[in-house]
Amino acid sequence: MSVPVIAIDGPSGSGKGTIARRVAAALGFHLLDSGALYRLTALAASRRGVALDDVEALADIARSLDVRFGADDAGNEQVFLEGDDVSLAIRTEEAGAGASTVAALEPVRAALLELQHAFRKPPGLVADGRDMGTQVFPEAGLKVFLTASAEERARRRHKQLKDKGIDVSLAALSRDIEDRDRRDTQRMVAPLRPADDARILDSSGLSIEAVTNTVLDWVGET
């Protein structure tokens, strides 16, 4: 039997990460935060002084990413790049902007494909990103496309960053999110869009519990 996959895609700040984590925990499934891989590629490039338009060098970095995901004693997510804890460094808006720049390059996306497929292990996988349902796991048993109003997404992101001690103005954040949305939806390769068979869920005004439960109900129907 093939290992089940639940794909959760959507724009920045739609709550995908939080919902994917909750759904994975509720089902005892593995979790793939695919955005982290693009953020790590951009970060590794900046550490090595590789320009964000050096396509071949970026694809090499993506192909050989030395990454490990974990959690600290309090259960907070930890991400290690080449052994260094980069959990905070990859969450800055700068890393997000770098990620969306390298993510527009086809060779980088191709280089990360195998790594993403390797996360599919029993008993199942919840995969969070922009193209989980359209490109990486087109055969996923459930595809969710999570949206929320632009204002709500900026507000959520602001709170999330503040909680991590990262200080950024709401206005600057709204502009960053709009720029990133534009790049992600308009790029030629794997643009952000719902798969034809995705179920759309607008989380504006809904609690985390309500959205998680809706997705779990849908899992039950598959």
Among 34, 41, 87, 212, binds ligand C5P (CB under 6 A): 34
Assess 99 for contact with ligand C5P (CB under 6 A).
yes
- Span interacting with ligand C5P, options 35-43, 118-126, 168-176, 211-219, rule CB under 6 A: 35-43
Strand order through the sheet with 84-85: 67-71, 77-81, 84-85
Give strand ranges (E) for the chain. Answer: 5-9, 30-33, 67-71, 77-81, 84-85, 125-129, 142-147, 199-202
Query: Nearer Cβ to ligand C5P, position 42 or 221?
Result: 42
Binders of ligand C5P in range 54-93 (CB under 6 A):
none
Among 4, 15, 129, 133, binds ligand C5P (CB under 6 A): 129
Instruction: Region of 168 please: left (phi>0), alpha (psi -120 to 50) or beta.
Output: beta
Q: How far is the CB of 1 from ligand C5P (least distance, A)?
A: 26
Query: Nearer Cβ to ligand C5P, position 4 or 96?
Result: 96
Query: Nearer Cβ to ligand C5P, position 73 or 182?
Result: 182
Assess 120 for contact with ligand C5P (CB under 6 A).
no
Q: How far is the CB of 198 from ligand C5P (least distance, A)?
A: 14
- Identify the CA nearest to 7 among candidates 97, 119, 103: 119
Assess 131 for contact with ligand C5P (CB under 6 A).
yes
Q: Which residues 6+ apart lie within 8 Å of 16 measured at CB?
A: 8, 9, 10, 128, 129, 146
Which residue is at the shortest CB distance from ligand C5P?
Answer: 35
- Identify the CA nearest to 12 among candidates 162, 212, 161, 215: 161
